[in-house]
Amino acid sequence: MADLNQGDAIPELRVTPDKYLPHRYAGASGDFNPIHIDNDFARMVGLPRNILHGLYSMAQVARAQTDAAGGDPRTLRRLKVQFRGMGVPEEEIVVTGTVRERDGNTIVIDTEAFQAGNGIVRNAEAEIRLR
């Protein structure tokens, strides 16, 4: 497990959602909004292409926190995010984070997700509790 003292970076999480990921996430989550799964529809409403579900991107931010805490899903106590920009398939997502403060086993992390330098999850704050 990484050192998680004030100022430490958490290990980066890198993942590239493939072309069909939004379809699988739609099925898994129940969110079939056509902007995520229909390229033609997405372009018709002014988007560059079909876009990732924000909650999929948030799930990658969540995973970066639990991975940093040793992998136990119970370690993640709170996660607050803002969605900015638009995530797209077939482009690598990078999740970074820095420990803002630590009180015993409770750790607050400032974290973000980027694609090609564009923030897709911004100003996120996670609280984890080590077990």
Partner 1 sequence: MPVDTKAVGKQYPPVDYEVGLEKIREYADAVGEGSPVHRDREAAKAAGFRDVVAPPMFTVVYSSPALRPAVLDPEVGMDYGAMVHGGQEFVWGEPVCAGDVITTSSRVAGIYEKDGKGFYVFESTSVNDADDEVVRGTWTNIVRGV
Q: Does 10 bind partner 1 (CB under 8 A)?
A: no
CB-CB contact of 96 with 9 (8 Å): yes
* Type of residue numbered 12: E
Q: Which of 1, 6, 18, 29 binds partner 1 (CB under 8 A)?
A: 29
User: What's the angle, vertex CA 18, arms to CA 16 and CA 19, rounded to 5?
Assistant: 140
Count interface residues toward partner 1 (CB under 8 A).
30
Taking residues 73 to 102 in sequence order and writing x for each that binds partner 1 by CB under 8 A, - otherwise, the string is xx-xxxxxxxx-------------------
Tell me which stretch binds partner 1 (CB under 8 A): 2-10, 22-30, 94-102, 105-113. 22-30
Q: Which is nearer to partner 1, 9 or 15 (CB)?
A: 15
Q: Which helix (H) or strand (E) covers residue 35, if one does? A: helix 34-37
Here the tokens at position 12 are 């980066």
- Contact predicate 88/60, CB 8 Å: no
Query: Minimum distance from CB of 119 to partner 1 (Å)?
Result: 13
